[in-house]
Amino acid sequence: MPVEPVEILKLIIGLIILTIPGYLWSYIFLARLTHLERILFGFLCGLAFFTISTFALNIILNIKITQTIVWLLYIFYIIPAAIICFISILGYQLPKITLTYFKNKTIIILILILSFSFLMMFLPHLLNNYYLPFHVDEWVHWRYTQGFQDYGSITFIDPYTGTSTSTHTEIGFHITNACIQWISTSTLSTIFVFMPALIGVFLSLTAFVIGQRVQRKFGLEAAFLIAFIPTSVRALGPSFYVASTLGLLLLLFIIWLGQVKKIQSISLIPFFIFYLFIVHPTTALAAIGIILVYSVFIAIDKEYRIALLTGLLCIFPIVIVVLFTTQWNYLIEFFITSITGTTYPPNLPNISVSFNDLGLLTWVFLIIGVCLAFIKEKVLLRTLSISLIAFIIVIGFYDKLGYGIQDIYERMFLYLFLLVVLIAGYGLSEIRRILIYLLKKKKYQHIKKRIKNIDILIPVILAIVILLIAVPAHLDTPYYEMITEQEYETFTWIQDHIHEYRDVNHTYTTAAVNPYKASPFSAVTGLYIISSTMKPLYGYDLHEKMQTFLREKCTNTNFLDNYQLSVIYGDANNTNLTMIHDKVYLYPGLKET
């Protein structure tokens, strides 16, 4: 197992350290929050603060970002909050979490649900006994995170080829990963394996606090159903550590910020939307759409000032992006041309949805929830329902008419599933209330006397039915392993020891490796590659030559000279090569400068 227990502990401690300042700031920004809301606020406020502040320091002041800079920012972040909170304590005592807090039935159930969410999000690793990233996109993010760390800038030399400069549109995700590693000192392998499950816990927690803020509470039900959001190789999902996974959490958190409906919380919406935009632009557009719909329903509810402020502030970050940055221009133009009628041919097959992934009953609860949202509820549930319908229409237009952009179409399924489980959670809670109402009537009193706690028992049975349908569907989901754990150990050895063989004439920076494994190889070793058949598709026209070279046991020395290759991973039978580790060879015949 590449991840040691001490590394997991370091990651958790690092996230706690990152959360503390935001937890304190929550008392300053928002007086009336629950402890759970403050923890959520502290965690995401920490991620947003470090990412945006380092981004701004680099792009505006051209300051190179290092671990030292991040810790200086941490001091700047925590000291004002600590001083203000200390002064506040002198005037009035801040709320405390006592042991009786954990005796609350709702809290006990929530802890069980959060543990279940962690288990479900971590299920692919447990099921396959594989503790490395599965999806090639994860390896790409791993490598770009290294690129940011190596150069301390949002613009850096392409980490795969060492040639042209690169600015990734999801650079905020890479900055976030770098800051998490610098604060926690855990390895990237630990972060990429365990962060999806930890984000899954925060997804369930956010769903819970959203549900508990509604008059007809549905927090526990929504938190439970979050765990079933599917992950697949084709559509991605919360079990992969990719930008869209963090984007889902930010999307849900922004909904919560709007739901609080305080000037302080609404004023933070543009801050978090901008953070979401540099993490995952497509999800930021989805968040803006949902918040705009939300502001309309707030206006219908006659809260005109809050509605206007919410609507204006949610589009403000896009204005900033258009006016002051350039790296996202083509994405914005791409989006605008698609909604004006331009179609783009797909390069991947359409996504098929299995209703079993969420459990058939969940979809029944969804229909109930949508209907009741327009009958009993007002702002939040109606917003979620209208947004859900809009996402279904976007998916349908692309599926049936080819109208739209494939990237938006693909991610739309994640947003759709997110809204489905929230609304279905509300539907499930209403079924429980209907049962309670019916059992109060005289003609049903005999049932309640025969079966104690039937109003609790039936929702539990429904939840178990969902489990029995959905969990097997998740267990049957196939994944691919790009490298074995033994190969990972070898790649790690190369990364740790290659510098021992370098000198002024031999830098040993570019490798010959199986094009299918090139992306994880480059991510772990830090070496450059010339051909990859997976993301990113570098030198695809060379992949057959590379495979032939490796298949022939690296006997073609001219191939090494022509493409300036000096490190080889594979089986070799060439006297010009020097073996330094199992399947690892150096070609010192190339004089490098």
HEC string of 205-221 equals: HHHHHHHHCCCCCCHHH
Amino acid present at 183: I
Kind and range of the H or E run holding 570: none
Domain locations in the chain as residue ranges:
5-339, 485-586
Q: Enumerate residues 6+ apart whose C-beta is below 8 A from 296.
A: 307, 311
Positions in the chain short of pLDDT 70: 1-3, 88-102, 324-349, 439-456, 589-593
* Interval 394-443: pLDDT, tens: 888 887 777 777 778 888 899 999 999 999 999 999 888 887 777 666 66
Please report the pLDDT score of residue 590 as a whole number: 46
How many angstroms separate the CA atoms of 254 and 583, rounded? 49
Q: What pLDDT is attached to residue 165? A: 81
Identify the residue whose tokens are 């740790």: 496
Compute how many other C-beta atoms are within 10 angstroms of the C-beta atom of residue 100.
8
Q: Are 210 and 255 in contact (CB under 8 A)?
A: yes
CB neighbours of residue 238 within 10 Å: 27
- H or E stretch including 348? none
Which residues, at least 6 apart from 63, have a Cβ–Cβ distance to it below 8 Å? Answer: 57, 69
Q: What is the DSSP letter of 157?
A: E
Using the structure block, give the residue that is written with the tokens 């969410």: 117
Residue 136, helix vs strand vs coil: helix
DSSP state of 3: S
> What is the three-class DSSP state of 33?
coil
Q: Which token pair is 297?
A: 């329903």
pTM for this model (two decimals): 0.92
- 405 is written with which tokens? 């952009």
Joined together, the tokens standing for residue 546 give: 């590379």
pLDDT value of position 27? 85
Over residues 1-31, the pLDDT tens digits come to 566 789 999 999 999 999 999 999 988 888 7
Contact 283, 415 (CB under 8 A): yes
CA distance 34 to 110: 14
Residue pLDDT, tens place only, 316-358? 888 877 776 666 666 666 666 655 555 555 566 677 777 788 8
DSSP-based three-state secondary structure for 556: coil
